Amino acid sequence: MLTRTSEYALRALIYLTQNESDWPISGRTIAENAGIPAKYLSKILGDLVKCGVLQSFPGKTGGVQPSKPPNKTMLRDVLAPFEQFENRRCPFGSLECSDDHPCLAHNRWKHVVGSQDRFLRVTSVYDVAVPMPGSQSEGECRGMNEANEMPTAVLRSEHKVILRVIEVLKRLVARAKSGEGFEKHCLSRCVTFFQLFADACHHAKEEDLLFPALEYRGMPRDGGPIGCMLEEHRAAREFTRLMAEALEADEEDAFCSAAKQYADLLTQHIQKEDTVLFTLGDNVLTGDDQESLCGKFCDVGCGTFGGKKQTELAAMADELESRWPAT
């Protein structure tokens, strides 16, 4: 569903990432090796320089290279100059299709769009350009889930990891508020964990796999627990965005306010899922549904999120907790 221009932009970034030792690389070399018409590429590279994804170096040995390390350059950043991400209209039905006036496909289509958006936001150029050394094999991955057997048990165990980092976040906010110090580096690690482990991995399993399976078995999306959970995921994303922004701007009060709201929201959200939604889910999902979901969870868990495997993200929770233990 990407335009030709977007596809060329991605191809150029992938070529640059795979040939880091040659940076900066001329447009002509990229065009020849990545199979992109040179004139077309020159305009694309200019746009990527303008929006800060690439930096350019003049002269005979000049060229372009990524402004940030490729594992920090998300696919969405590369595509942003060429794609209309905001206010994307549903391609079916009328011109006025919206949440308030949905066409017949709107509610299903918006989840496809949401899932694509999430993939582009959390997948870096590095993730798609360079194979991960020692990445989880399917066997290892299946082994992780087998211990849990039920898909809701997998999600419940992820909740415990998320809650441990929420406790660290709360301790660090209390420390900042009491004037003992604003631990920016560790707070930034917490936010990265929430963005990648909680949102990109865990919420994706719920939104793209569990909730549609529950709907298929008759649980309504709108006006029921699924709709409520989706709304809370959206609010949680907004709080992580605010936390990241406040950290970037060194605004301690704004960070502490967003962090408190995030911690409160996600704690009660997890409690509702554990005690209500997952219990209902265990009753309506068939054995085949459960087995299929566990397999699909494995597929998600075997991926990388911002260049990190799920096990590496879980290790971040251990590291943060041991650095800032409960007293």
How far apart are alpha carbons 34 and 190 in whole angstroms?
Answer: 38
**Nearest approach, Cβ of residue 278 and Fe ion (Å):** 8
Q: How far is the CB of 200 from Fe ion (least distance, A)?
A: 13
Complex with Fe ion: residue 24 or 281, whichever CB lies closer:
281
- Closer by beta carbon to Fe ion, 77 or else 232: 232
Q: How far is the CB of 225 from Fe ion (least distance, A)?
A: 10
Among 44, 183, 206, 308, binds Fe ion (CB under 5 A): 206
Residue nearer to Fe ion on the CB measure, 171 or 269 = 269
Phi, psi of 200 (to 5 degrees): -65, -35
Instruction: Name beta bridge partners: 66.
Output: 54
The site string for Fe ion over 158-197 (x = CB under 5 A, - otherwise) reads: ----------------------------------------
Q: How far is Cα of residue 100 from the mean position of the Cα atoms in its chain?
A: 27
Nearer to Fe ion, 41 or 118 (CB): 118
Amino acid (1-letter code) at residue 70: P
Residue 283, token pair as written in the block: 């009753």
Q: Which is closer to Fe ion, CB of 90 or CB of 155? A: 155
CB of 154 or CB of 191, closer to Fe ion: 154
Rank residues 35 and 227 by Cβ distance to Fe ion and give the closer one. 227
Name the one range near Fe ion by CB under 5 A: 60-68, 178-186, 221-229, 244-252. Answer: 221-229
Is the distance from CB of 75 to CB of 107 less than 8 angstroms? Answer: no
Report how far apart the first and last C-alpha atoms of the chain are (Å, whole number): 51
> Considering the complex, what minimum distance in angstroms separates the CB of residue 203 from Fe ion?
6
Q: Select from 41-49, 168-176, 203-211, 244-252 the region that touches Fe ion (CB under 5 A).
A: 203-211
Q: Are 86 and 76 in contact (CB under 8 A)?
A: no
User: How far apart are CB 226 and Fe ion at their closest, in Å?
Assistant: 10
Question: From the CB of 44, what's the least distance to Fe ion, in Å?
Answer: 38
Write down the least CB distance from residue 314 to Fe ion, Å: 15
The answer to whether 199 contacts Fe ion (rule: CB under 5 A) is no
User: Which range in 25-33, 34-42, 204-212, 288-296 contacts Fe ion by CB under 5 A?
Assistant: 204-212
Round to whole Å and give the CA distance between 184 and 176. 10
Size of the site for Fe ion (CB under 5 A): 3
How far, in Å, CA of 228 to CA of 269, rounded?
9
Candidates 21-29, 84-92, 228-236, 260-268; binding stretch for Fe ion (CB under 5 A): 228-236
Using CA of residue 105, residue 110, residue 115, residue 119, what is the dihedral sign? positive
What is the distance of C-alpha 244 from the center of its chain? Answer: 14
> Which residue has 């796999």 as its token pair?
209
Tokens coding 267: 């704690």
Q: What is the closest distance, in whole angstroms, from the C-beta atom of residue 266 to Fe ion in the complex?
A: 8
DSSP secondary structure code for residue 70 in this structure:
G
Q: Considering only residues 229 through 288, tell me which ones interact with Fe ion, judged by CB under 5 A.
A: 229, 273
Q: Is 131 helix (H, G, I), strand (E, B) or coil?
A: coil
Window of 65-73, 74-82, 178-186, 199-207 that interacts with Fe ion by CB under 5 A: 199-207
| Smallest distance from Fe ion to CB 201, Å | 11
Q: Checking DSSP bridges between strand 304-305 and strand 308-309, what pairing results, if any?
A: antiparallel
Nearer to Fe ion, 44 or 266 (CB): 266
Q: Which tokens in the block code for residue 214?
A: 């529950």
Quickly tell me which residue has 């170096």 as its tokens: 57
Q: Which amino acid is located at 273 in the chain?
A: E
For residues 225 and 242, give the distance between their C-alpha atoms in angstroms, rounded to a whole number: 26
The contact set with Fe ion (CB under 5 A) reads 206, 229, 273
